[in-house]
Amino acid sequence: MTLFSVYQKLLNQYGPQQWWPADTPFEVMVGAILTQNTAWTNVEKSIARLKSKRKLTAQAIDRLQHDQLAELIRPSGYFNVKATRLKNFCHWYLAQGGFETLNELDTASLRHGLLSVNGVGPETADDMMLYAFNRPVFVVDAYTRRIFSRLGLVDDAIGYEPLREKFELEFISKRKQVNEEARVAHYNEYHALIVVHGKDVCRTRPRCEKCCLRRQCAFISDN
């Protein structure tokens, strides 16, 4: 089994996911920060509250008092920490000139800039890169580590960057000619499928009887 064959099995099982669930690139970026350490349903509640108060813009968030913002995003949990991170991000985002200016940067420079923001780590930055800026950057999350270490395809101790590069190189190696748009579409779909499978089937306590990968899974063979 390869990383690419897992993608094909998951796609056959779940179908296209059409991620990220957001109306604008900026909403994607806000969601990427709010989804840290919480379920997406909680993020949706926070975003709905920001929208209802017409505060889902970088300018509005930057102007809000910390306590006001924390209260609006309370459903997403860790709301004081996330309010600080959101304000840090929005201040940086506005200082850089907003989406249009940032989108003119090459991929490496844009990623470096996002990672310079206090509270934006590799996973959050790559969520933004892939889903807001449509850059060919694969997103690694806890579901990725869990699923692929159980399958025996990666070492559970592998670092974030080597694991990200492994997924990116696997796809490129399977296609003789692959453009940036195709890579973005593949990484987008694959990450979404991993999240669905990790959330519904390959949980901390896995539901192996429902798993489309169970026949090739090293984890189940040891239990």
Q: What is the rounded distance in angstroms from the CA atom of residue 45 to the CA atom of residue 89?
A: 20
- Cα dihedral sign for 88, 108, 21, 173? negative
The one-letter amino acid code at 74 reads: R
Q: Please tell me the predicted confidence (pLDDT) of residue 136.
A: 96
Q: What percentage of the chain exceeds 90 in pLDDT?
A: 90
At residue 7, does pLDDT exceed 90?
yes
H-helix or E-strand spanning residue 95: helix 79-95
The answer to whether residue 222 scores a pLDDT higher than 60 is no
Is 50 or 21 the better-scoring residue by pLDDT?
Answer: 50
Closest by Cα among 105, 158, 128 to 29:
128
pLDDT band at 176 (very low <50, low <70, confident <90, very high): low
The pLDDT of residue 207 is 96
Q: Which amino acid appears at position 169 of this protein?
A: L
- Which range of 20-24, 91-95, 167-171 scores highest in mean pLDDT? It is 91-95
**Domain at 3-17+139-221: CATH code:** 1.10.1670.10
pLDDT of residue 218: 81
Structural tokens at position 6? 């897992």
178: pLDDT strictly greater than 50: yes
Residues of the chain within CATH 1.10.1670.10 domain(s) are: 3-17+139-221
- Return the H-helix or E-strand segment holding 7: helix 3-14
| pLDDT top residue among 44 and 179 | 44
pLDDT at 179 over 80: yes
Burial per residue of 74-94, b for 16 or more beta-carbon CB atoms within 10 angstroms, e otherwise: bbbbbbeebbbbbbbbbebbe
The answer to whether residue 140 scores a pLDDT higher than 90 is yes
- Give me the pLDDT at residue 17, please: 94
- Look up residue 14 and give its amino acid: Y
DSSP state, 53? T
Q: Which residue has the higher pLDDT, 121 or 175?
A: 121
- Ordered DSSP codes for 14-47: H--------SSHHHHHHHHHHTTTS-HHHHHHHH
Structure tokens at 61: 């968030």
Which pLDDT band holds residue 221 (cuts at 50, 70, 90)? very low
Higher-scoring residue by pLDDT: 177, 211 = 211
Q: What is the pTM of this model?
A: 0.94
Q: Which of 62-66, 111-115, 155-159, 210-214 has the lowest mean pLDDT?
A: 155-159
Per CATH, the homologous superfamily of domain 25-132 is Hypothetical protein; domain 2 (1.10.340.30)
Where in the sequence of the chain do the CATH 1.10.340.30 domains occur? 25-132
Distance of alpha carbon 77 from alpha carbon 93, whole angstroms:
23
